[in-house]
Chain A
Amino acid sequence: QVQLVQSGAEVKKPGASVKVSCKTSGYTFANSHITWVRQAPGQGPEWMGRTSPYYGDTNYDQKFQDRVTVTTDTSTMTAYMELRSLTSDDTAYYFCATGRNWFDTWGQGTLVTVSS
């Protein structure tokens, strides 16, 4: 079955960067977009961006455009999301999911806490 397993929780200081990984299995990695969504505690999800492992193209929400990078490693079937210049507002769960415009399999989420 399709599985997405994310890296563990992170604690970062303001101004730092964080890189979250998403190890996939159970499907052909190149055949599906990987999307990143974040969710602050008690809030709704926020779409951050997506990438196509096959084509290598990416799309980002304007809100994160300048400080997020989404990449993939097809040899290990792993996706990565790096967010830079962290502030306390970036404290949230970060999820990877398969799909371009709708998301049928999700990772378990990675809690990123930004605190001085």
Chain B
Amino acid sequence: QSALIQPASVSGSPGQSITISCTGTSSDIGGYNSVSWYQQHPGKAPKLMIHDVSDRPSGISNRFSGAKSGSTASLTISGLQAEDEAHYYCSSYTNINTVVFGGGTKLTVL
């Protein structure tokens, strides 16, 4: 199973909105509503931000939202804050009962 495709980097100024894309295939993102997004700061474990395409776990700001169209998922962060600077990874359930991650996107808050 090949890794999901994410842009290597995105950037935005405080207060702005950014969107990170995550492209897969019909065997993963396109076939299931089981896309998740994780935030990872240096030296820390990943943190779940979104699951099942657009559901936020308790305690996650509503500035974070997820969506999916076909085989591409997206994470939007609105009202960018300095603490949002981190790596973001998408993941999806697959048709062979496994999970595949994306290569990751480095978000820089200018």
Contacts and interface: CB of A to CB of B under 8 A. Distances in A.
Nearest to B57: A104
Contacts of B93: 101
A95 B96 CA distance: 22
Contacts of B1: 61-62
Given A44-B104, A45-B89, A61-B98, A102 B52 contact: yes
Interface residue range, chain B:
20 to 34
Interface residue range, chain A:
20 to 34
Contacts, number: 56
Contact of B48 (A43, A44, A59, A102): A102
A102 B51 contact: yes
Q: Can you list the 9 inter-chain pairs with the closest CB atoms, starting with the nearest? A: A106-B45, A102-B51, A102-B36, A47-B99, A44-B104, A101-B93, A45-B101, A44-B103, A104-B48
Interface of B: 1, 3, 34, 36, 38, 45-48, 51-52, 57, 89, 91, 93, 96-104
